[in-house]
Structure formats: C-alpha cells, structure tokens
Structure 1
Amino acid sequence: MIRLLVIALSLAFASLGVSAKPEDTAQPIKRIALSFDDVPRREGAYFTSDERTLLIIEGLRKARVEQAAFFLNPGLIAKRPGAEKRIAAYVAAGHVIANHTNTHPGLSNTSVEDFLADLDAAAEWLEGRDGLRPWFRFPFLDEGRRDAQKRDALRVALAERGLINAYATVDASDWFYENAVAEAERANAQINLAALRELYIKVHVDAAEAYDAIAREAIGRSPAHVMLLHETDLAALFIGDLVRALETKGWTIITNDEAYDDPFARYAATYDTPSAQGTLTEQVAWQMGVSAPRWYEGNNTRIASEWFRTRVLRDTKDTDK
C-alpha cells in the first residue's frame, strides 16, 4: 500500500599554482550537471531496483535533462540482481557512466596499491561499454585527506590512465535522507511525504546556491557545477521536481561533458590544502583563503537530522493521514 501511495505521489509531483581569478569573470548563467554515485545501489524503502531505475529515467526525461552521469561500482553488480540491465537502461536513455572504483573503498583507509587495484578492476569491467567517459570519482570524495602523498600518487595514476578527477562542486548529503527514511520506515514512524519532498528539494537548491556563492567569492565567477546525488528512492520520487526548482532559481541544467570542460576542472589536479576531501568548491575556496564555513550547512548531519525530525516525521499523536 505504501509503495502505491508513494508512486502515486511521485506521479502527481512530476506533473507539477593557479591564479586567484580565472579569466572569465562575467558568466551570466548558473549552470549545473547532475551526477549519481554508487550505482548499483541497494534497494531503498519504497521501490524495487527496477522500479527505481525506471522512475529516475522517466523523471529525467520529463524534466528534459539531456545527460546525467552514473558513477559505477562494478564489484557490487553480482550482489544486485539485474543491475547490468539497469545500467544499460540509463545509457540507452542518453546518460553516461564512469568509474567510482570496484567496491567503494576510501582512499584514506586504503593503501595506494590496493586502491589502484580496485580502480583498475572497475576499469576492466567498464572498458568498451557504451556511454563510458574517462572520468573517475573518489568514493566519499576522499582524495587522501591529510595524506598529501596519497593525493599526489592518485593524481599521477589518474593521468597515466587517461582519467580525470570527476569532482563534485555541490553536495547536499542526499545519502543521509535516504538512510533517515529507511530507518523511519523500519520503526513504523509516520513520514509526511509532502514535507519530505519539500525538504529534499530545499536542501539541494540551497546547497547549489551556497556552493555557487562560495565559488564566486573564491574565483570571481560561477563555474559549471556538478551536483552529487545517489541512486536513491528519493531521487526516483523527486528528481523532476528538483530540476524544476533549480530552473526556477535561474539554474540551467547542462551535461557533465560541458561541466568537466569548464576551466574550473584544472583545480582538481592542482589544489593544495591541508586535507583533501569534499567538494572541489570547498577545496578551492580553502586554497584561495575564503573564510570558513566553506560548505553547505546541511552537510552537517546533526543539522540535517533535526530538519528531518521536525519537518518530515509526523507527531505520533497526529492522526491526519
């Protein structure tokens, strides 16, 4: 029953060394590409994996998103029945795929040798596949944290393999809300789905605005942004609504090809900060001397937890269905 209700709501909503100042300081348009990590992801609270993929594809289509990027962990495919077919469906719909390691290790907790072996295992599976781009995204956006030797070793290794660092510039911790919903459903808590939709959209739009303001302060312009999302039931429900909300705020949805062709991409292989983890926006702002905080407040899980509790969970005394 809850699945049918969620799907019905979804369809209803759907109908509704670097210079401090780069050369281009007059970018009039806020541009952003959409990317999804950890594919194939585990099932969520509401949909089967097949249902989720179909809803994400349809949501992107209805929102006229020409191209999203899906970053794969091929080592998880055997644990997710039908995953290879779902990945092919994303590509058939015009989207692209790229490397996110084979089994999703964190670099800061893994030796360089083991990390590269995992990366190469994913590359072997990906080789020759339709929709493949020469991009690599670090799991957890972890580029070695305080270990500059690991950071630099991976920069060399990526260059040797013809891969670019497929950074994100905007992050709203959507994984947190996925986990919060799953936990609430397991506890039989009452979730206000309309409020969940509103919060999901708000945090992502606010994150885009916040990171763009940070980037403008750091480099004097708005770069082509890349939003970090995950293959979740919440994306399946609300991706079309999110796109429309971004467009209402003046954002243009672009392809990841365009985003990674932006001059801002050069920072990904050159920035030098005391700890290498997080969005590229944060790292560049740190390098350029922008004062903290250099990230969106909603990435603080304490704050996100309070938002979810007070805005999404119904009071147990509330009998309004």
Structure 2
Amino acid sequence: MKKIFFIFLFLCTAKIIQAQRSVAITIDDVPNMGLFEASNFSSVLQKKLDSLHIPIAIFINEVNLGQPAVLDRNKNLLKSWLVKDYITAGNHGFAHKNFADVGFDAFKEDVLKGEVVTKELLKQEKKELRYFRFPFNGAGNDSLEQMKALQFLKEKKYISTPYTVESEDWLHAILYDKALAEGDTKTASWIGAQYVDFTLRLFTYFDSLSLKMYNRSISHIYLCHDNKLNADYLPEIVNQLKNRKYKFVSLDEAMKDPVYKSPLHYYGKNGFSWIYRWIPDVEMRKKLMREEPTNGEIQKAFEEMNKK
C-alpha cells in the first residue's frame, strides 16, 4: 500500500511539474528587410505569428530600416509589428554592435540611437520600450564592463533581457537559405526538420538542468531570429511544445520567475544560456556545457559550406 502511495505521489508530482512548464518566445534582429522585400513587401513570419495566438517579444535593430529613401516604407513595416497586442518590443542596439569589441562609449551610443524610431511608434500605441538585449548576448569583456553597462541600462529604465534556450537557428538559417536559393527543397526540408528536432532536444536538456538545479521547471525564454527558417518552422516548434504541455507566456510574465533575479557568476563576451551563468562552480558549468546536445550533421554541413 505504501509503495502504491509513493508511485501515485511521483506521478502526481511529475504531472504538476509538466503542467508548470512555460516559455516566452523572443525574436531578435527585427525587422528582416531582405526577407520583407523578397516576400513582395510582406512579413511572412509576422503572418505566421498572427495565427499562433501567443505572446511574442521582438528585439529591434533600427539600422535595418535603411536609408531615408525607404525609411517611411520600412517604418510602416516596423509599426505593423508594434501595433499587435501580442507583441512586446525591445531594443537590440541600432547596429547590433558587440560591446566587447566596440567599448562602452560606442555601446551607449548604439543603445540610444537604437530607440529613436521604436519609441516614436510605441508612443502612438501607448506602449513602452522597457527591454534591451545585448547583441551577441555578451555584456563586455569582464565584470567591470558588465556592471558599467548594466548600470547604464538601469539608468535608462531598460531591463537587460536573458535567455535560457537557443538552438543556433541563425546557423540553420544560413544553410536553409542556401538550399532554397539552389532550388534544393529536399535539403531545405531536412534542415528544417533538423532545426525542430534540435530545438526540442535542447528544451529537454535545459528542463533537466532546471529540475536538477532548482527542483522545478523554470519559466524559459527562447531566443530565435527574424528569418525564413522561423517563418516556415517556428509554428512547428510551438505546436510541438504545446504537445509537451508548455504554456506560452509573455516576456513580462517569464521574467517574474525568481530565477531571473539569480546572481551572475559569469562575466564576459560569450553568449551562452543564463542557466550556465547562474552556476558558481566553473568546472560544473563547463561540464554541463559539454553535455549539452549538439547536431554534428548540421555543424559538418556548415563547415563544408564555409570551405567552398
């Protein structure tokens, strides 16, 4: 009888943990003007997101809006993102400059320059620009640079935005675009399937780490980009996560998880998951990073492409 009770308790606990899974979807490098023009001046990704009915946070590089001759047209594209009720806007730096490479003064200038148009458009919608994500997810070369940058962002009323799961969609996207450009739809479909599978494996891995470290499923933040690959395959990832009983929450809601108040134990320019940055033991961090799933076939394909 006692054994039956503990089995029942285990199943109930597993069900609760699964029911508590949640994730906020965040998309960097918006808007993708090349994709917009190639799609007959239409945002395919935006249309797909409209049909998903989930909250989304976008991080904007205003340099993508282009020169004065096309600025008004492209501002209208950005506005079409910002008017959506499900969209939360974030600053990703005007020109996506890596703080570690350019230094504090150039970084500060890039932050301020990157908010001008977005704030103007958000004001019309009675929305605010409260989030910033470091380009390349690196906050300088050391702890002093990082603290200086974070203090500057705090003064400007920005929230520095982390992530927990990222599946190298940018790398998959390069291969995917190449296959499509060559008319190789079979390879493109294979790359898309690899992307979905790899993303799901990473969610499994980082969920296991959150259970190991916090004895619960944390509220994840997924990072991807505005590209053709996500226009075609992000809906599939969302559906697969729904099948796993994930709840899709806003970035505001995800950031309420106490885990995002954890102290950082990594200071530097590498852009890896915040789950690793919260680990004080350097050797443990390295061990867990080595155990993270990889996709050897995609990496090999990318290396071969670069050789050519």
TM-score when normalising by structure 1: 0.76
Mean alpha-carbon deviation: is it higher for 188-197 or for 87-96? 188-197
- Counterpart for residue 192 of structure 1: 187
- Counterpart for residue 305 of structure 1: 299
| CA deviation map 1:212-266 (0-9, x unaligned) | 2223323332221111010001111122221111111221111112112221221
What number of residue pairs does the alignment pair up? 278
Relative distance call for 1:235 and 1:49 in structure 2 (3 A) is farther
Relative distance call for 1:46 and 1:281 in structure 2 (3 A) is farther
Counterpart residue identity of residue 63, structure 1: L
- Counterpart for residue 59 of structure 2: 71
Cα contact 1:45–1:181 (8 A) shared by 2: no
Say if 2:48 is the partner of 1:59: yes
Greater Rg by CA: 2
Cα contact 2:265–2:279 (8 A) shared by 1: no
Identify the match of residue 274 of structure 2 among 266, 280, 300. Answer: 280
- Counterpart for residue 174 of structure 2: 179
**Equivalents in 1 of 2:57, 2:157: separation in Å?**
18
Relative distance call for 1:99 and 1:196 in structure 2 (3 A) is same
Identify the match of residue 247 of structure 2 among 236, 243, 252. Answer: 252
Relative distance call for 1:286 and 1:58 in structure 2 (3 A) is farther
What is the DSSP-based 3-state SS (H/G/I as helix, E as strand, rest coil) of the residue aligned with 1:285? Answer: coil
| CA deviation map 1:134-168 (0-9, x unaligned) | 01101111112x42211111111111111111111
Identify the match of residue 170 of structure 1 among 162, 165, 170. Answer: 165
- Counterpart for residue 129 of structure 2: 133
Mean alpha-carbon deviation: is it higher for 242-251 or for 129-138? 129-138
User: By how many angstroms is 1:125 displaced?
Assistant: 3.0
**Equivalents in 2 of 1:186, 1:126: separation in Å?**
32
**Equivalents in 1 of 2:250, 2:303: separation in Å?**
35
Superposition map of 1:115-154 within 5 A:
115-128=107-120, 129=122, 130=125, 131-144=127-140, 146-154=141-149
Counterpart residue identity of residue 56, structure 2: A
Cα contact 1:46–1:233 (8 A) shared by 2: no
Measured on the aligned residues, the alpha-carbon RMSD in Å equals: 2.9
Relative distance call for 1:266 and 1:50 in structure 2 (3 A) is farther
User: By how many angstroms is 1:188 displaced?
Assistant: 5.5
**Equivalents in 2 of 1:64, 1:34: separation in Å?**
12
**Equivalents in 2 of 1:49, 1:285: separation in Å?**
46
**Equivalents in 2 of 1:117, 1:281: separation in Å?**
29
Gaps of 5+ in 2: 1-15
What is the DSSP-based 3-state SS (H/G/I as helix, E as strand, rest coil) of the residue aligned with 2:218? Answer: coil
Cα contact 1:45–1:185 (8 A) shared by 2: no
Mean alpha-carbon deviation: is it higher for 134-143 or for 85-94? 85-94
User: By how many angstroms is 1:280 displaced?
Assistant: 1.1
TM-score when normalising by structure 2: 0.79
Cα contact 2:179–2:188 (8 A) shared by 1: no
Identify the match of residue 212 of structure 2 among 217, 222, 225. Answer: 217
User: By how many angstroms is 1:98 displaced?
Assistant: 1.0
User: By how many angstroms is 1:200 displaced?
Assistant: 2.2
Gaps of 5+ in 1: 1-25, 314-321
Relative distance call for 1:253 and 1:149 in structure 2 (3 A) is same
**Equivalents in 2 of 1:232, 1:259: separation in Å?**
24
User: By how many angstroms is 1:184 displaced?
Assistant: 3.3
Say if 2:14 is the partner of 1:29: no
Say if 2:217 is the partner of 1:241: no
Cα contact 1:218–1:290 (8 A) shared by 2: no
User: By how many angstroms is 1:69 displaced?
Assistant: 0.8
**Equivalents in 2 of 1:86, 1:74: separation in Å?**
12
Relative distance call for 1:236 and 1:286 in structure 2 (3 A) is farther
Cα contact 2:33–2:64 (8 A) shared by 1: no
Relative distance call for 1:61 and 1:280 in structure 2 (3 A) is same
Identify the match of residue 256 of structure 2 among 261, 275, 280. Answer: 261
Counterpart residue identity of residue 280, structure 1: W
